[in-house]
Chains A and B, each alone.
Chain A
Amino acid sequence: MAKTISLTLKVWRQKGPNEPGRFETYEARNISTDASFLEMLDIVNKELTLQGKEPIAFDHDCREGICGSCGAVVNGHAHGHERETTLCQLHMRKFRDGDVLVIEPWRSRVFPVIKDLIVDRSALDRIIASGGYISVRTGQAPDAHALPVSKEHADAAFEAAQCIGCGACVAACPNGSAMLFVAAKVSHLSLLPQGRPERWRRVQKMVRQMDAEGFGACSNHYECEAACPKGIRVANIARLNREHLLAAFRARLFGEYPDIKVLPPSV
């Protein structure tokens, strides 16, 4: 029989974006240590529903750590204290019987709370829309070996491409900066031949959009790297900085100013 633990949860409850929020205390009793964190919340929600209370709203989708939907700050750690783990892949065996867990949404002015633990992360989508793509005509998939890509670049691009856009980097950053997210996207695209033609304008457009959204700036605390469930490294931020510096030089030297239109932040 599976081991069970009981916990006290202090959960941020907020009815809507413009409502004041506050912490509510709940008891999570007899939780199997094999349950995931989200399953534990499901169990608590079932009880709340049976009591006629409003269940705790939280984002989730794949529950296998690859979609980037879930996430909450547990006792001050984005996605909980376990390294390289999304909240859905964090299991209750990582907690002890009697633990008190403070569960909060990502805190960022750019991520307004929609309800309880759900935040609006559309700012990240607008950063992608500003330049995080490659402009190609769609059609037949090209042969895998049609474009030569070095092993080093393929590996680095793949590592960066693991970013699931969950926003934990923003939540963990003392400055509320989205640099790790933007850096992962810039790196993944600019390292591959398909992304090269738009390389210089991409970095400028994405950084401008990031600034317009109101994210903070990186001051190299590197908390994002530790919080990232995909282990995206801050070396990508250095690459973003490098690309940005080169793009700025090219702009000054060759007059290569991209036509930057910042999408209006919706919030």
Chain B
Amino acid sequence: MRVNIFKYSSVGKKQIVAITGLMLVGFILVHLGGNFMLFGGPEKFNGYAEDLHRLGPILWAARAILLVAVSVHITLTFSLYLENRNARGTPYAVYADFGNTTFAKRTMILTGGLIFFFVVTHLSDFTFASKTGPRTVIPGVNGDASLGLFGLVWMSFLRPWRVVLYIGAVCMLGMHLSHGIQSFLQTLGINHSQWTPYIERVSNLIGVLVALGYSMIPLYVVIRHLTVGVGV
């Protein structure tokens, strides 16, 4: 039996998953930074969005790269997941872990899948939604004129179920990253007797910070709306 050396091995697949995962982490951090522009008010936030759109072909190239990264990341992890499930055969009557595995590690495929479905709804809610339509108007603010993407985000988060969905999704994302980031380093061969314990903590910390950072967006909208209002 001969092997096609161009067919990826399990290790090769994981390394591609790790690299595409890191690209997506990069996007998540940049996107979080962009979201924080919301705190600057409608002009700042919409201005940032317009600046991004002014990039034109560069923006579309970045989107294309992200789409490829997402597709590859999901396809390969799913194929690995199926292979892994198949490897056990007869299940254990009793299986007990030694405590090295964690809830976040065991649910990577689940959190990953849920994040994907959230991203689909997120894209249709914001990225591809009309930036001038009735959903962008905050009643009683700006003379009932459209507030663009800012208005869209603001009005969306005044619906409690959206806040719950969003915070739930970003918590999944944080959990996924807490294992994903440390896993990335191990899979590409970086493990150090002294640094790795800290890397693991930093990875968990990044997961928590990403979840908290994104959660601040809907919470800011809700709290601000209930207290001082939009302020324009």
Contacts and interface: CB of A to CB of B under 8 A. Distances in A.
A257 B83 CA distance: 26
A234 B186 contact: yes
A139 B38 CA distance: 75
30 contacts: A23-B93, A73-B94, A73-B95, A75-B94, A76-B95, A76-B96, A77-B96, A104-B92, A104-B93, A107-B88, A109-B86, A109-B89, A175-B87, A177-B84, A216-B84, A217-B13, A218-B14, A218-B187, A219-B14, A220-B105, A220-B182, A223-B100, A234-B186, A238-B185, A238-B191, A241-B14, A241-B186, A242-B189, A244-B9, A263-B1
A177 B10 CA distance: 10
B1 A76 contact: no
Contacts of A227: 98
A217 B14 CA distance: 8
Interface in A211-226: 211-212, 214-223, 225-226
Interface in A199-214: 204, 207-208, 210-212, 214
Nearest to B193: A235
Contacts, number: 162
Bin chain B's interface residue count: 35 or more
Given A104-B93, A174-B106, A217 B101 contact: no
A223 B5 contact: no
Contact of A220 (B93, B95, B187): B187
B44 to A, nearest CB: 40
B86 to A, nearest CB: 7
A264 B105 contact: no
Contacts of A240: 11, 189
B158 to A, nearest CB: 40
A69 to B, nearest CB: 21
A177 B87 contact: yes
B96 A245 contact: no
Given A77-B98, A219-B183, A260-B3, 16 more contacts: A73-B92, A107-B91, A108-B88, A172-B97, A174-B97, A177-B84, A208-B9, A217-B80, A220-B105, A221-B100, A237-B186, A237-B191, A238-B185, A240-B189, A261-B2, A262-B2
A177 B88 CA distance: 9
A109 B12 contact: no
A239 interface: yes
Contacts of A83: 98
Interface of A: 10, 12, 21, 23, 73, 75-77, 81, 83, 102, 104, 107-110, 112, 172, 174-177, 204, 207-208, 210-212, 214-223, 225-227, 234-235, 237-245, 248, 251, 257, 260-264
A108 B13 contact: no
Residue picked from A177, A223, A240, most chain B C-beta under 10 Å: A223
Contacts of B179: 220
Top 5 A-B pairs, shortest CB-CB distance: A242-B189, A76-B96, A176-B87, A238-B191, A226-B98
A179 B63 CA distance: 35
Given A241-B15, A262-B2, A214 B98 contact: no
Contacts of A109: 86-89
B108 interface: yes
Contacts of A104: 92-94
Given A217-B14, A261-B1, A261-B2, A108 B89 contact: yes
